[in-house]
């Protein structure tokens, strides 16, 4: 019984991550599922999310404002991260920079399979808030 309950939570955690493009943190998943699963603990969410990551079901996009953020989309793609609000936005169709692979191969003597790009700046939403205040 407990086991069935656990796997249902596990499923809910995975679904919560995949249901959003916001690249959620463990805290976000916890807060989203808590009303439906009152006995859910943050530790359970962390443990399951790390398990999904190890299994390649989700990706980590690194730490933003001190919180690790995750992605249910495991297809290689680039990201924009807002320095102000911490939004992580998918950026598709960035032209692939072969030259960058060449440079890295030369300086590191490593074979490059691929690279992913992170763009940092101020997102459209924050820009609008800024303009409204002026
Ligand atoms: Zn922003
Ligand atoms: Zn993404």
**Ligand 2 centroid, distance to 4 Cα (angstroms):** 31
Residue at which a domain ends, from 45, 72, 99:
72
**Ligand number nearest to the C-alpha of 22:** 2
**Ligand number nearest to the C-alpha of 86:** 1
Domain extent, residue 103, equals: 76-134
**Ligand 2 centroid, distance to 73 Cα (angstroms):** 6
Q: CB-hemisphere CA count at 13 Å for 68?
A: 10
pLDDT tens per residue across span 75-131: 889 999 999 999 999 998 888 899 999 999 999 999 999 898 999 999 999 999 888
Residues of the chain with pLDDT > 70, as a percent, come to 95
**Ligand number nearest to the C-alpha of 88:** 2
**Ligand number nearest to the C-alpha of 125:** 1
**What is the pLDDT at residue 126?**
96
pLDDT tens per residue across span 27-66: 999 999 999 999 999 999 999 999 999 999 999 999 999 9
Number of domains observed in the structure of the chain: 2
Provide the CATH number for the domain around residue 111.
Answer: 3.30.1490.190
Q: Which of 5-9, 11-15, 34-38 has the lowest mean pLDDT?
A: 5-9
């Amino acid at each position: 019984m407990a086991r069935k309950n656990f796997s249902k939570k596990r499923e809910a955690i995975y679904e919560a991550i995949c249901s959003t493009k916001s690249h959620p943190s463990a805290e976000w998943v916890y807060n989203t599922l808590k009303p439906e699963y009152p006995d859910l603990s943050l530790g359970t969410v962390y443990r399951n999310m790390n398990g999904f990551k190890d299994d390649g079901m989700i990706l980590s996009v690194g730490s933003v404002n001190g919180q690790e953020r995750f992605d249910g989309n495991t297809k290689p793609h680039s990201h924009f991260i807002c320095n102000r609000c911490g939004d992580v936005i998918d950026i598709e169709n960035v032209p692939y920079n072969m030259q960058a692979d060449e440079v890295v191969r030369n300086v590191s003597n490593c074979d490059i399979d691929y690279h992913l790009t992170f763009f940092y700046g101020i997102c459209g939403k924050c820009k609008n808030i800024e303009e409204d205040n002026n």
